[in-house]
Amino acid sequence: MNDLTIRHLLIDMKPPLARHWNGGEVFLSAFFDALSMSFPVGEQFFIDSLREGLTQLPADQQPVWAREIQGFVGQEATHRRLHDLYNQQLASMGYENRWAPRIRQRLKRLEAFTDKRHKVAVTAATEHLTAIFAAWLLHHPSVLAPAPARMRQLWLWHASEELEHRSTAFDLYRALDGNELWRKRWMRLVSMHFALDLMRQTLHHLWRDGQLFKVATWRGAQHWLFGRQGLLRWGASHWRAYFRAEFHPRQFDDGLALQWLGQHQDQWRTISKP
Ligand SMILES: [Fe+2]
Ligand SMILES: [Fe+2]
């Protein structure tokens, strides 16, 4: 079992956020802003699917799992709350969240499956994508180096907690005796939808700002996604690892996350400790 601490991040998201807040890097700022749009609705789904999954376990196993799920729910709920405030700022700048309604539509379709384990598998797949992004951020401090302190704090705190609870959904799926074929199938589907939706939302922001057809924007995209240390190039082998029979999220090193959390303890109030 994972012991998960719930932290209340001491951060003020109310002061207005500058457009292209990441040191004027247009593509990266739009990419992060787009990603944030998916969190409140996505993280609520993770919370609901694991709570539901917990009820599917044999009664004698539920108390063993309850504590970890409670930690997971607490962490995701605090992420949701802050990203909601962040998204309100984005809305006031004129960016429209076109991604969240699309997620809601897909989740409605997921309700057609009576087997609750599908939702846990979708959560496990998305959590692995999140863990890859989180690890990339922590391994590449230059990504957020020019950002205002509070934005760096928000993203690195979120990234660290994502690595902390990276195996909760996966372990629950295994405890529920989830099917391996579906585990991998959902990863393919989730990855495809996630990549397309993230791209569409990012393009909307770039278009809205009149940056879509500028060479510098696409140079940034090339560098941060496909460059030597770019997210897609760096993350490809971690993504493929999910399809191995012996894969487990704990194989993903969380050393940098623990280090970050250890060094920034003055930046939150602990709500609940295991
Ligand atoms: Fe999260
Ligand atoms: Fe998560």
Contact at 8 Å (CB) between 262 and 268? no
Task: Name the amino acid, one letter, at 206.
Answer: L
The pLDDT of residue 1 is above 90: no
Please report the pLDDT score of residue 274 as a whole number.
65
Ligand 1 geometric centre to CA of 158 (Å): 6
Looking at the DSSP assignment, which residues form a beta bridge with residue 8? Answer: 269
Q: Which residues contact residue 127 at a Cβ distance below 8 angstroms, ignoring those fewer than 6 apart? A: 46, 162, 165, 166, 168, 169, 170, 249
Retrieve residue 268's tokens: 């939150």
Domain residue limits, the chain:
27-272
Ligand 1 geometric centre to CA of 160 (Å): 10
Per-residue pLDDT band at 51 (split at 50, 70, 90): very high
Mean pLDDT score of the chain: 96
- What pLDDT digit, counting tens, does each position of 9-47 carry? 999 999 999 999 999 999 999 999 999 999 999 999 999
Q: Name the phi and psi angles at 270, rounded to 5.
A: -80, 125
Contact at 8 Å (CB) between 122 and 225? no
Could you list which residues have their CB under 5 Å from ion ligand 2? Answer: 162
Q: Which ligand is nearest to the CA of 165?
A: 2
Give me the mean pLDDT over the 151-165 stretch.
Answer: 98
Please report the pLDDT score of residue 3 as a whole number.
84
Ligand 1 geometric centre to CA of 169 (Å): 12
Q: Which ligand is nearest to the CA of 46?
A: 2
Task: Name the amino acid, one letter, at 21.
Answer: W
Ligand 1 geometric centre to CA of 166 (Å): 10
User: What is the C-alpha separation between 160 and 55, in angstroms, rounded?
Assistant: 28
Q: Which ligand is nearest to the CA of 79?
A: 1
Computed from CA positions of residues 10, 14, 18, 19, in that sequence, does the dihedral angle turn out positive or negative?
A: positive
